[in-house]
């Protein structure tokens, strides 16, 4: 129940966006089965949301530690380039997958080391790889768009299992695995503790460095998965454009998901819904026939509205309005405005 309450704003926002698009595009919600797999706009949204959804999983953990990972788009480009090179070299699929994931992990560890061991500010530490990463990817592909024709690898991007497109399956499974590992172990609690108060956490013996490195490492792994999906989907690696600006969408998905950039409490599920909201806006605007030059503006406007509704200031103002206009029954709210003095010592 508590979990549902936490997710309510994101679910409501998603439903509202889908509803708005349905008004403009009749038949938007219809799903059919063709050739043994699911088809329809909703399925399409889930497929196209895959890269941002995957990035958002790792980004959620990083942001929960009070960090940020700007490099994920570039890491997508690196891993995509490496995967394409290996595939073009006719390496077995297992090798391609393991090497690509290993590279993503290494990128994450590099970021984590800069942040946790050298105490660099996360935004600067990951900016390094954000800039350098695209250069590395260009070196790997030799500056060209590296294409390949390999049905096995392409299956990751365009295949389907039990009727569910592979990209969707991958982000669902990744979200489930990371979510379970984090919440069934104590990682989640400890990451939240470090994000809220790193000093106090260290003083009770929480190994904050390890946790921070782990968060960036998971972020790197997620970026590697996203990079492979994009590469498999287009049958090639484009070092310049793969994952371009996606780090910003991933951050946005996390923020829409209600995880604060100042660290602490996080919800991977909410971030995934955030990614779906972003993709629904993208797809919806395209399908509704708006002139494409409006796309970015409409998307920005919708996001402003969503974030405004979530902002603590608005929430306080709304609960203040409620308090003013009667319904005194809601007196167990957690905002002890009257206690501010007592807490100020």
The residue ranges that bind other proteins (CB under 8 A) are: 184-187, 189-190, 192-193, 196-197, 199-207, 211, 264-265, 334, 336, 339-345
User: Least distance to other proteins from the beta carbon of 196, Å?
Assistant: 5
User: Least distance to other proteins from the beta carbon of 208, Å?
Assistant: 10
Which backbone phi and psi does 165 adopt, to 5 degrees? -55, 140
User: Least distance to other proteins from the beta carbon of 251, Å?
Assistant: 20
User: Least distance to other proteins from the beta carbon of 221, Å?
Assistant: 17
Of 37 and 207, CB closest to other proteins: 207
Distance (Å, whole) CA 176 – CA 233? 23
User: Least distance to other proteins from the beta carbon of 192, Å?
Assistant: 6
Of 5 and 289, CB closest to other proteins: 5
Report which of 345, 124, 326, 125 is spatially closest to residue 213, judged by C-alpha positions: 125
Of 69 and 192, CB closest to other proteins: 192
Burial of 175-209, coded b for 16+ CB within 10 Å and e otherwise, reads: beebbeebeeeebbebbbbbbbbbeebeeeebebb
Of 198 and 235, CB closest to other proteins: 198
Of 149 and 316, CB closest to other proteins: 316
């Amino acid at each position: 129940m508590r979990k549902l309450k936490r997710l309510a704003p994101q679910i409501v926002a998603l439903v509202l966006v889908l509803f708005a698009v349905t008004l403009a595009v009749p038949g938007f919600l219809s799903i059919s089965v063709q050739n043994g797999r699911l088809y329809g706009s909703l399925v399409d949204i889930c497929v196209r949301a895959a890269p941002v959804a995957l990035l958002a999983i790792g980004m959620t953990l990083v942001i929960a530690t009070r960090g940020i990972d700007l490099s994920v788009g570039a890491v997508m480009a690196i891993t995509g380039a490496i995967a394409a090179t290996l595939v073009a070299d006719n390496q077995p699929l297992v090798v391609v997958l393991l090497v690509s994931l290993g590279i993503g992990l290494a990128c994450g560890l590099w970021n984590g080391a800069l942040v946790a061991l050298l105490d660099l500010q996360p935004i600067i530490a990951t900016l390094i790889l954000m800039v350098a990463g695209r250069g590395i990817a260009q070196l790997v592909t030799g500056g060209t768009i590296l294409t390949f024709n390999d049905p096995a690898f392409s299956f990751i991007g365009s295949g389907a299992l039990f009727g569910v497109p592979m990209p969707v399956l991958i982000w669902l499974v990744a979200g489930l695995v990371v979510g379970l590992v984090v919440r069934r172990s104590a990682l989640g609690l400890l990451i939240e503790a470090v994000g809220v108060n790193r000093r106090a956490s260290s003083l009770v013996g929480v190994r904050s460095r390890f946790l921070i490195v782990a968060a960036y490492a998971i972020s790197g792994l997620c970026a590697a998965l996203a990079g492979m999906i994009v590469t498999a989907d287009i049958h090639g690696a484009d070092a310049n454009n793969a994952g371009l600006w996606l780090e910003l969408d991933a951050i946005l998905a996390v923020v829409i998901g209600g995880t604060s950039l100042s660290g602490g409490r996080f919800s991977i599920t909410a971030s995934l819904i955030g990614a779906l909201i972003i993709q629904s806006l993208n797809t919806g605007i395209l399908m509704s026939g708006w002139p494409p030059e409006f796309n970015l503006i409409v998307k920005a406007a919708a996001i402003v509205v969503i974030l405004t509704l979530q902002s603590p200031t608005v929430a306080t103002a709304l609960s203040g309005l409620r308090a003013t206009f009667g319904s005194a029954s809601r007196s167990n709210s957690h905002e002890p405005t009257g206690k501010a003095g007592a807490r100020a010592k």
